[in-house]
Amino acid sequence: MTHVHVAAEKNTKNAVVVRKPFVIEGFRVNAVSCNMRYSGRLDLALIATERFLKVPVAAVFTQNLFAAAPVEVSRRHLKSSGGMGCAVLINSGIANACTGDRGIKLAEETCRKVAKAISVSSESVLVASTGVIGPHIKVKAVEGVLPELVNGLAPDKWDSVAKAIMTTDTVPKSAYAEMMVGGETVKVGGVAKGSGMIAPNMATMLAFLCTNVHVNQKILQEMLAKAVDESFNRITVDGDTSTNDTVMMFAAGPDGVAKILTGREPEAEVIYELICNVCQDLACQIVEDGEGATKFVEITVTGAASKEDARRIAKCIAESPLVKTAFYGGDANWGRIVAAAGRAGVRFDP
């Protein structure tokens, strides 16, 4: 199991990422059991804005050509809504991936059911799934528990959401950071799942973040994409990639404690660093929970001609079976590291 970290990034000096319960003003969440695949455990979660107001949403999705139905539907909804939304429904157990046109229709139907339950347009609702590839999502199972799910929405149920999105994970994953800016507390919190099939370019992992700051959608998208590149795209557990990868972030609406409209506001740098720090911590938690993993290894490459060169070298080392077996056996076989670096396709002075 390897966490690939190419270069040290600047962290928010006064903010510490914590793994404890949190509340983000402007958002309510809940999780219930719908027996999608598992029996008697939380497997369906809803993250929604206060009063179901449409707010800026940013998202980064899988690069796998076999993108799952929920990924395709969420992409469409974000495009048609101009990057605005009010809720995301997440289920675990069934990925609704490689399910053809019917899978798309079922994902759309699920969004319509949620939209009707909270009295909004269906394009305001996003969807994400994780689990077994092949089976279709069970819309009736979702519909049967929607009243309970919606009526139970509360600001302090993020722990339940983290548990509901787990599949092969052994522990729920959450992270939170805050910082005082201009007398206001700027907050970023999030949950994630993932333990196997994890590699750069986001593989079989889900993450959902919220902030109490109102951020212009275009700027929010730029911030999230950059943060994902500095975190989730720099980890690998088994080198495999998936169909359902999704990272989403919701920014508070007009009631946010601050507004970032141009990206030049003093809060802009703070909010980006908080997003990046939370994403990096969630990424580390995924690696720590890797399937069958016994070690957490961080690889740092220095002196490379570019960040991309450094990343390619680090990735090649991290995914080398011989390097992994050396780490597993506690054998300081530096020759395997050198050999892996040498075949990364990067020119450097050995």
Between strands 206-211 and 246-251, the pairing is parallel
Q: Is residue 4 part of a domain?
A: no
The residue annotated as part of the active site, out of 2, 49, 62, 204, is 204
Judge if 307 and 345 occupy the same domain: yes
Write the CATH number for 66. Answer: 3.60.70.12
Is it the case that residue 328 has pLDDT exceeding 80?
Answer: no
pLDDT at 345: 85
State which of 236, 269, 286 marks the end of a domain.
286
Asked, for residue 2, whether it belongs to a domain, the answer is no
User: CA nearest 333: which of 324, 345, 344?
Assistant: 324
Residue 12 placed within a domain = no
Report the pLDDT value the prediction gives residue 11, as an integer from 0 to 100.
43
Q: Is the pLDDT of residue 196 over 70?
A: no
Asked whether residue 317 falls in the same domain as residue 169, the answer is no
Q: 119-128, 162-171, 278-287, 332-341: which has the minimum mean pLDDT?
A: 332-341
Q: Distances from the Cα of 135 to the Cαs of 106, 152, 222, in angstroms?
A: 11, 28, 34
- Whether residues 165 and 21 share a domain: the answer is yes
Question: DSSP for 194-233?
Answer: --SS--SS--S-EEEEEESSEE-HHHHHHHHHHHHHTTGG
For the ranges 51-55, 198-202, 274-278, 287-291, which has the lowest average pLDDT? 198-202
C-alpha dist (Å) from residue 300 to 106, 125, 195, 283, 312: 44, 40, 22, 16, 12
What pLDDT does residue 65 have?
Answer: 86
Residue 9 within any structural domain of the chain? no
CB 164 within 8 A of CB 92: yes
Residue 284 binned pLDDT confidence (cut-offs 50, 70, 90): very high
Q: Are residues 257 and 132 in the same domain?
A: yes
User: How does pLDDT run across 221-256, given as a tens digit for each residue?
Assistant: 999 999 999 999 887 755 556 789 999 999 998 888
Is 211 in the active site? no
User: Are residues 53 and 200 part of one domain?
Assistant: yes
Query: What whole-number distance in Å separates Cα of residue 195 and Cα of residue 193?
Result: 7
Residue 113 placed within a domain: yes
Which of the four pLDDT bands, split at 50, 70 and 90, describes residue 14? Answer: low
Is 301 found in the same domain as 278?
no
Tell me which of 242, 264, 286 is where a domain ends: 286
pLDDT score for 239: 55
Domain final position from 234, 268, 286: 286
Number of domains in the chain: 2
In a shared domain, residues 299 and 274:
no
Domain that holds residue 298: 294-349
How far is it, in rounded angstroms, from Cα 117 to Cα 119?
6
